[in-house]
Chains A and B, each alone.
Chain A
Amino acid sequence: MTQPQHHLDDATLASYASGALGLPLGVAVATHMRLCAVCRERMRQADAIGGELMRQQEPAPLSLSAREAMLSRLDSEPVDVTEQPVAQGSEERPSGPRTPVDQLPPELHPYFGDSYRALRWRMLVPGVHRVRSRIPAGKGDLFLLRIASGKKMPVHSHAGSELTVVLKGAYRDVLGRFGPGDVADLDSEVEHQPVTEPGEACICLAALDAPLRFPGRLARMLQPLFGI
């Protein structure tokens, strides 16, 4: 797979590193990072910044018994020897009975299962199907969209933050072409109209922390179809 061309915004990276990102957006960030070595490196830098800031803080005293408890735990703790750091340049290959083509990224397994073929798509409008995830109510929304090739989506912007990660196929909008691994990291200033490319249907992961906002009449009519 070629390297993704569209990356996470610095503001999103900072939110993820600080633990402030809600569940759906966090899952989308993790999904993109698995596919993007560039953003993994940027996240390492974000964590290094957090580590240094944490180190510069005034220490908060721990109870005296804590140190003793720590020392006595060292004797009884097993040591992890199974996992070794993966050598530079080698990519993890999913293995198992299914072909990798059918495997969803591991980050999505708790929410959608592990197989594309087993997904239960529901039609929103002809050519657009969706699978919603079971995430706790009030935590935003996380779903997969499958958009037929050559399909034009309504113009819309977003009231909160949205992350879209392309898993299969591709689409284009004002920001360029988005193929597998690419992330669209948009906030409310951006109004866009994605058009899927010919060929394979486009499957994307969409994560929202607030509802979509469609300006047009047709789009408003479509909004209930998105269920949010």
Chain B
Amino acid sequence: METTGTRAGDRMNVQVAMLVPETVTPIKLSRTPRNVSTRADQAASDARYWNTQMVAVAVDRDREAFMRIYDHFAPRVQRYLLGLGVAPAQAEELVQEAMIRLWRKAAQFDPARARVSTWLFRIARNLYIDSVRREPNWRPVEDALDVLPEETAPMRGTLAESYVEQSNLRRAIDALPALQARLVRMSYFEARSHSEIAADMDMPLGTVKSSLRRAFGKLRASLEAST
């Protein structure tokens, strides 16, 4: 089923992408400026690769494309949930649940609006709140928000620009000062309040908040700049 021109175009890309060996960025590379820009280019091609896999799932219910997504992302979602303190067996159940939700809802995936990593992060975070923190009202709220449109900046909106966003984001993460990078990771991966982080780091709450604001502002700005 090809409903839009964008999807049809992507479907052709799917076939091209399948001939290319899987290109996934190694996590740790030395940080010379040349490598940073290589990483950034890599980020765009990764994002494009995973989106084409996702479109293949959405359009053709392509099981192989889905399992490629599974093999790459499921162990990372597992790492994320373990980091939040979820017991290994429960984490594995939640990973399966997150992946199945991706399979079921693939038709809603809009490659111009989201990326596979963003989707999976959202799903995993909400499953964590829902089942580990036992706040079952959360998921319906999030599902409702999912279908509302976002404010689209005039420069945003095309698929190519969305891939550039991804490279810019990765570059901005690499460029964060050590303390800001640490605070951002603590905030995302430990799901701890700012006061808990402040106590843990032995820093004033105001300093934690202002550092996080600065870091976050830079990362968000990298997603808005599309050149």
Contact = CB atoms under 8 A, between A and B. Distances in A.
A54 B119 CA distance: 11
Contact of A52 (B82, B150, B169): B169
B104 A78 contact: yes
A85 interface: yes
Contact of B80 (A10, A54, A209): A54
Main secondary structure of the interface of B (DSSP, over half): helix
Contacts of A26: 129, 135, 138
Nearest to B169: A52
A110 B219 contact: no
Nearest to A188: B205
B220 to A, nearest CB: 5
Interface in B38-72: 61, 63, 66-67, 70-71
Interface stretch (A61-69, A168-176, A192-200, A220-228): A61-69
A65 to B, nearest CB: 10
A132 interface: no
A154 B113 CA distance: 45
A224 B220 CA distance: 42
Interface string A12-41: 011101111111001100100110011011
Contacts of B151: 37-38, 40-41
B43 to A, nearest CB: 8
Contact of A48 (B82, B106, B169): B169
B149 to A, nearest CB: 5
A59 interface: yes
Number of chain B interface residues as a range: 35 or more
A90 B147 CA distance: 11
A87 B110 CA distance: 11
B189 A53 contact: yes
B111 to A, nearest CB: 11
Nearest to B58: A79
A85 B117 contact: no
Contacts, number: 223
Interface in B66-90: 66-67, 70-71, 73-80, 82-84
B224 to A, nearest CB: 8
B213 A47 contact: no
Contact of B96 (A37, A73, A92, A107): A73
Given A11-B213, A62-B95, A71 B118 contact: no
- For B67, B71, B74, B206, which residue has the most chain A Cβ atoms within 10 angstroms? B74
B37 interface: no
Nearest to A86: B147
A94 to B, nearest CB: 11
Interface string B19-39: 000000001000000000000
Contact of A54 (B66, B114, B121, B137): B121
Interface in A48-84: 48-63, 66-67, 69-71, 73-74, 77-81, 83-84
A46 B137 contact: no
A74 B103 contact: yes
B173 to A, nearest CB: 7
B118 A48 contact: yes
12 contacts: A17-B125, A19-B125, A22-B193, A45-B224, A50-B122, A55-B117, A57-B189, A59-B76, A60-B82, A79-B107, A80-B108, A110-B137
Kindly list the 4 A-B residue pairs having the minimum CB-CB distance in the complex, ordered from nearest: A59-B75, A51-B117, A51-B121, A37-B151
Interface of A: 9-11, 13-15, 17-23, 26-27, 30, 33-34, 37-38, 40-42, 44-63, 66-67, 69-71, 73-74, 77-81, 83-92, 106-107, 110-111, 160, 187, 189, 209
Given A62-B74, A74-B63, 7 more contacts: A14-B216, A34-B144, A37-B149, A40-B150, A56-B173, A106-B144, A110-B137
